[in-house]
Amino acid sequence: MNRDEAYKLLTEYTSKEGLIKHSLAVEAAMRAYAKIFGEDEESWGIVGLLHDFDYEKYPQEDGHPYKGCEILKEKNVPSEWVDAIMGHGDYTGVKRETKMAKTLFAVDELTGLITATALIRPTKKISEVEVKSVRKRMKQKGFSAAISREDIIKGAEELGIDLDEHIATVLKAMQGISDRLGL
């Protein structure tokens, strides 16, 4: 599956603009980490793009990501992709054993927190967001309360990367596609 096919699949199952933008943000973060780790940027990006493609149609824990992974298996995508997508939710019980799986888990919630941090700025520009402002918002339990701070911290730990460095990497990746994110 190439990137165009993946994007078509995403938009076939997802109509909500916010969820599409989230997928684009996770794709950008995955590509950034693939480059850092010397991995295949295309496949890592596709995994990021598709990690939530089934969420809008199957939002319950017994639907997402199980239904999406069934669809991906039918399309004969690599098992590493399916395992990474299954592992991005702790509730599935699928262990994150590969760098790809650990990275997907690590960037997923963080992209949401960075987006929320940008959206509260008067200009709503991600270019004005700094690591320290993301860290500040992390400490505010009422700010975007649905975003798991524990998962963000656990993700950085699983990657063995300092949290500030992790935030900086994901922030820079998202800033690189700010126009596509509307930020």
> Residue 147: pLDDT band by 50, 70, 90 thresholds?
very high
pLDDT at 118 over 90: yes
Q: What is the pLDDT of residues 65-110, one digit of tens each?
A: 999 999 999 999 999 999 999 999 889 999 999 999 999 999 999 9
Give the C-alpha separation, 183 to 168, whole Å.
17
HSE-CB at 95 with a 13 A cutoff on CA atoms is 2
> Residue 32: pLDDT band by 50, 70, 90 thresholds?
very high
pLDDT at 62 over 90: no
pTM (whole model) above 0.85: yes
Picking from 101, 96, 126, the residue whose alpha carbon sits closest to that of residue 113 is 126
Give the C-alpha separation, 21 to 86, whole Å.
20
Picking from 30, 52, 51, the residue whose alpha carbon sits closest to that of residue 42 is 30
> Residue 111: pLDDT band by 50, 70, 90 thresholds?
very high
Residue 74 tokens, joined: 């039918």
What local confidence, expressed as pLDDT, does residue 87 receive? 96
Give the C-alpha separation, 149 to 138, whole Å.
6
Residues in the chain: 183
Set out the domains of the chain in order of their start, with CATH numbers.
3-178 (1.10.3210)
Picking from 172, 166, 142, 139, the residue whose alpha carbon sits closest to that of residue 154 is 166
